[in-house]
Amino acid sequence: MIVFDLICGAEHRFEGWFASSKDFGSQKRRGLVQCPSCGSPEVRRVPSATRFNRGAQAPKPSAPKPEKAPEMEGKDPFAIAQMLYSRMLDELLTKSEDVGKAFPTEARRIFYEQSPARAIRGQATQEEHDELVDEGIPVARLPVPPGRLNRRSGVAPASPAARKTAGGCSRRGRGSPA
Ligand SMILES: [Zn+2]
């Protein structure tokens, strides 16, 4: 994981988390990096505070060091995981269509190209979920904390591109603890 300080056209500063700087470039090109304040996809990187302080001793390109996010320092791994999960959840909940109990049917229809390709979320029983997995349909089972939806949601990213964004750290196979 790498954290970039980003700024949008309206001068909103925020952080973006990416697998690599290449991943950032790829997501930016596809308009997936958006300002959380105004939704603008016109974002650019700004030097982070930590890099500023290092001044002339910036690391040489030949010896890249993994960067530590200032907000992660001193926090326990569980809190960090929770924070990352919460961000990912926000992303998923705002960028997918809620199809409710029709989730298994709709996920199947999208997979077999009987419905327009898109990211959806909704509910499925364990059995329905397992059937989707058995059919090779990419779905993820996500516990949603109370106050968000107060229930579990399944999310089926519609396209390979969406799947990469949405499913990265949450895809679960059959039999893993839910
Ligand atoms: Zn903005």
List, for residues 6-28, the tens digit of each pLDDT value: 999 999 999 998 998 899 999 99
Q: How far is the CA of 147 from the centre of ligand 1 (A)?
A: 26
Q: Say what the pTM is.
A: 0.39
Q: How far is the CA of 165 from the centre of ligand 1 (A)?
A: 21
E strands in 9-130: 13-18, 43-46, 97-100, 120-122
Q: Which residue type is seen at 51?
A: R
Burial state string for 17-45 with b = 16 or more CB within 10 A and e = fewer than 16: ebeeeebbebbbeeebbbbbeeeeeebee
Q: Quick check: 54 pLDDT over 60?
A: no
- Each domain of the chain, given as residue ranges in start order, spans 2-55, 77-167
Q: How far is the CA of 55 from the centre of ligand 1 (A)?
A: 28
Q: How far is the CA of 7 from the centre of ligand 1 (A)?
A: 7
Q: How far is the CA of 90 from the centre of ligand 1 (A)?
A: 17
Mean pLDDT, residues 65-87: 73
Amino acid 28: pLDDT? 93
CA distance 23 to 27: 6
Q: How far is the CA of 39 from the centre of ligand 1 (A)?
A: 6
Minimum mean pLDDT range among 54-58, 66-70, 83-87: 54-58
Q: How far is the CA of 46 from the centre of ligand 1 (A)?
A: 14
